[in-house]
Amino acid sequence: MAVAEQDTAVRTGGITRAFIYGILLLFMFFYLMPLFVMIANSLKPLAEITGGNMMALPDTWTAEPWRQAWSSAQIGVEPTGLKPYFINSILMVVPSVAISTVLGALNGYVLTKWSFRGDKIIFGLLLFSCFIPFQIVLIPMATVLGKLGLAGSIPGLILVHVVYGIGFSTLYYRNYYAAFPTELVRAAMIDGAGFFRIFWRIMLPVSGPITVVCVIWQFTNIWNDFLFGASFGGQTQPMTVALNNLVQSSTGVKEYNVHFAGAILAALPTLLVYIVAGRYFVRGLMAGSVKG
């Protein structure tokens, strides 16, 4: 009897597991279908798309749409392609992510291990900044950039994203450092360690998981931003704005294969970031970035 019950339980467990896997595969299929359509059609001649099935693999494989999207597609009036705008995005994203992450780590360190009068109010204001819509700050930010002489420049975009990202990075590090033993910091103070020595030697070495969370979050938001880039980019517009111009610049027959290739090129950096560091992102969240 016990053996029969065990066999029944095993069969039931196997059926349940197969059902769960089947559902997951179904969701994966629907989730990856748009990506498949984009990749397949970016490798087709335009005639195959307009006169064929967009769900089918290419009959004639070609990389010409990718070349056009990268270096020869018409954007505005100059045949420049996405390449210079991709470089603009890199020059904007890397400093923005680095500066906002470092400032967020310092803020989180100060707000948890160096308590002072009004620290709760300051943290509350920084937290409030996370919920301010982009549209509200457009006019004030444009005024500030104009007075600083940074309008229409990459340093101006860096300043915008650093200011807007400090609230999120502070929130991440503050909640992470709140779970860190304060006794270690006090012991370091007794041994004569100063503010920055404690930060560099004690806090930062254990901040790997939350740093990955912050970097991925900031990189994704800044790279995918369109509103700030279109409003303040000027002649140094980022990749997302150029992709929109690429689609809108097509006249007559839409070059869907070039548009698909451009969209993949625009999404590729964030995709690579998640592929490389995605597992560390989950670990960082579980380590305390969403606590408190």
In the chain, what percentage of residues exceed pLDDT 70?
86
Residue type, 261: A
Whether pTM > 0.95 for this model: the answer is no
How far apart, in Å, are the Cα atoms of 202 and each of 146, 159, 171?
41, 29, 19
CB atoms near residue 19 (< 10 Å)? 10
What gap in Å lies between CA 4 and CA 49, rounded to an integer? 58
Measured in degrees and rounded to the nearest 5, phi and psi for residue 75 equal -125, 115
Poorest-confidence range of 1-5, 37-41, 68-72, 159-163? 1-5
Residue 75, helix vs strand vs coil: strand
Average pLDDT over the chain, rounded to whole? 84
How far apart, in Å, are the Cα atoms of 31 and each of 34, 37, 198, 223, 263?
7, 11, 46, 22, 17
Could you tell me where the DSSP H helices lie in 131-181?
138-148, 154-178
pLDDT tens figures, 137-189: 889 899 999 999 888 899 999 999 999 999 999 999 998 888 888 888 888 88
pLDDT tens figures, 58-108: 888 998 889 988 886 444 445 467 888 999 999 999 999 999 999 999 999
Residue type, 64: E
pLDDT number for residue 76:
46
Helix (H) or strand (E) holding 6: helix 2-42
Tokens of 291: 């606590």
Q: Which domains does the chain have, with CATH numbers?
A: 2-64 (no CATH), 83-289 (1.10.3720.10)
Give residue 78's Cα distance to chain centre.
29
- Asked if the model's pLDDT at residue 1 lies above 60, the reply is no
Which among 245, 239, 238, 198 has a CA at the least distance from the CA of 75? 245
| Torsion 65-70-74-78 (CA) sign | negative
Contact criterion met (CB below 8 Å) for 203 and 180? yes
